[in-house]
Structure 1
Amino acid sequence: MFCALASAVCFGTASVLQAVAARTTAPGTGSGVDPRLLLRVLTQWRYLLGLALDGVGFVLELVALRSLPIYAVGAALAATLAVTAVVAAPVLGTRLSRAEWGAVGVVCGGLALLGLSSGEEGHLRGGPELRIAVLVFALAVLASGALAGRLPDRARAAVLGLGSGFGFGVVEVAVRLIDDFAPTALLTNPATYALLIGGGAAFLLLTTAFQRGSVTTATAGMVIGETVGPALVGVAWLGDRTREGLAPLAVTGFALAVAGALALARFGEAPVDEDGGPHPTGEDEAAGRRGGAARESQGDSGRESRGDFGRES
């Protein structure tokens, strides 16, 4: 459990460091992707430190998945949003409302309940059918990106976010299906390819969702996809269980952790304003949308309101 929580701390802190690096490298940039800016951000120590933390977090996640039920690790990873929100407050100048601070507390409370009630990982390793099914599902997640491109903006962000969550969930399940790390065994195990395809698809779909839709909607879909589905697979096919008589406590803790994470979904990418200013609060966002609508009705074809951070530049 310590490794799972430490992984969430690494991922959440890395998001903030990378956001700071992006701000200092290209403040006030316009739309489009400039490869020169991408290369420039890769020279920033904060961004590189964030990448290193991502790597450490991934290793800690793998260790946790080899020792804990999938439902406990998934809920702990959802706490990444709580870490991002807390770290972003002093570093990026974001303002958390009372409700959001309450959501951070709910996430922590849910994880505490899971820590008390979760048992050891299940000892079932799944048969060849489950390994093949996970690989097929990973390919389906990758293909979903092309189908989601035809959907309206809001629906597209939700589908892409959910697909990325399923991809991360594939990684969680595939780790449990790899029981022999000999080179020959890895190459002949469908779960190995499912892990690589699922992880790659997850990052691709989530990046696309952030570029073309709402950060909040995409992140909410991701949280649901990477927690609920893998948890069910762990319980139904891999033998994950709770401590004797504490199943209701585990279910409550899981639900609280996921619900709290969903309430913090706007911190999924730790977004900042184009001028480097603080992230708007919910009231600021609503006011920005009203102002943008008023300008549009007057024939103003300028840029969108700063408050509508759902569309990334």
Structure 2
Amino acid sequence: MLCALGSAVCFGTASVLQAVAARASAPGTGSGVDPMLLWRVLRQWRYLTGLALDALGFALELVALRSLPIYAVGAALAASLAVTAVAASRLLHTRLSGMEWASVCVVCGGLALLGLASGAEGDRTGGTALRFGVLAVAAGVLLLGAAAGRLRGRPRAAALGLGAGIGFGVVEVAVRLLDDFSPGALLTNPAAYALLLGGGAAFLLLTSALQRGSVTAATAGLVLGETLGPAVVGVVWLGDRTRVAPLAVLGFGLAVVGALGLARFGEAGVD
């Protein structure tokens, strides 16, 4: 759980640094997702610092996913929105309201309950159908991004953030579906390709969302996409369980609702 929370701190801080870099980058010529945006922002130190934090956060997430149920890790990562809001108040010169601070407390309370109630990760490895299904979802993230990139303002940021969240959710599930890390096994496992495709698409969509949209709206979509679906997959197909199910459900719900409350009442960007 400490690794999962550390991952949330890394991801939340990285989101704001990447937002600053994305907005300082010259805008593309079209209204959709700009594949060249990543090339432009990679020349900025803030974005590179954000990537370094993302890499550290991903390493911590991997450790957490090998020890905790997916729903516990996903809810902990939802706390990244609280980190984003606090960091954005400093770097993007916004002010957190009393409601936003209350939402931060709700997130922390939910995580505390979840930490008390969560059990060990499931011992199922998933079947071939699930592996190909995760790969199909990863490909679908790109289609969602193409459609969402044509929207405007807050809906665009939220939709792109949701697509990015689904992509990162694919990564969470794919990590659990990798039971053999030898080169031959990885090359024949669809989950390995899903991890690469889902992660790459998620980075592109999230960067596009942060360039010309609300940071909190984008991260709210991110929270929904990377928590709900993977949690269901973990419980239904991978055997994740809890020590006290009602307490775990309450903690998960509080963490997600608190994160969404930050996106509803807070505004760390412009539309």
- 1:253 maps to a residue whose letter is G
- 1:261 maps to a residue whose letter is A
2:27 corresponds in structure 1 to 32
The number of residues matched between the two structures is 264
TM-aligned CA deviation for residue 137 of structure 1: 1.4
CA contact (8 A) 2:85 2:216 kept: no
- Give me the whole-angstrom Cα distance separating, in 2, the residues matched to 1:222 and 1:167: 9
Are residues 1:165 and 2:165 paired?
yes
Structure 1 pair 64–236 and aligned structure 2 pair: CA distance change class (3 A): same
1:260 corresponds in structure 2 to 258
Bigger Rg, which one: 1
CA contact (8 A) 2:16 2:215 kept: no
Structure 1 gaps, min length 5 = 272-308
| 1:103-122 superposed matches below 5 A | 103-122=103-122
Structure 1 pair 90–153 and aligned structure 2 pair: CA distance change class (3 A): closer
2:32 corresponds in structure 1 to none
CA contact (8 A) 2:131 2:189 kept: yes
- 2:52 maps to a residue whose letter is A
Structure 1 pair 104–176 and aligned structure 2 pair: CA distance change class (3 A): same
- Give me the whole-angstrom Cα distance separating, in 2, the residues matched to 1:214 and 1:90: 16
CA contact (8 A) 1:85 1:267 kept: no
- 1:135 maps to a residue whose letter is L
| 1:276-291 superposed matches below 5 A | none
TM-aligned CA deviation for residue 202 of structure 1: 1.3
- Give me the whole-angstrom Cα distance separating, in 1, the residues matched to 2:267 and 2:143: 24
1:96 corresponds in structure 2 to 96
1:86 corresponds in structure 2 to 86
- Give me the whole-angstrom Cα distance separating, in 2, the residues matched to 1:57 and 1:268: 24
- 1:256 maps to a residue whose letter is L
SS in 1 for 2:184: helix
Structure 1 pair 78–268 and aligned structure 2 pair: CA distance change class (3 A): farther
Tell me the TM-score normalised to structure 2 length. 0.85
1:281 corresponds in structure 2 to none
2:177 corresponds in structure 1 to 177
Relative contact order, higher structure (CA 8 A, sep 6+): 2
Are residues 1:247 and 2:226 paired?
no
1:306 corresponds in structure 2 to none
Q: Structure 1 residues 48-57 or 260-269, which shifts more?
A: 260-269
CA contact (8 A) 2:174 2:191 kept: yes
Structure 2 gaps, min length 5 = 30-35
Structure 1 pair 56–17 and aligned structure 2 pair: CA distance change class (3 A): same
The two structures, once aligned, show a CA RMSD in angstroms of 3.0
CA contact (8 A) 1:15 1:270 kept: no
1:195 corresponds in structure 2 to 195
SS in 2 for 1:264: helix
Structure 1 pair 270–200 and aligned structure 2 pair: CA distance change class (3 A): farther
2:218 corresponds in structure 1 to 218
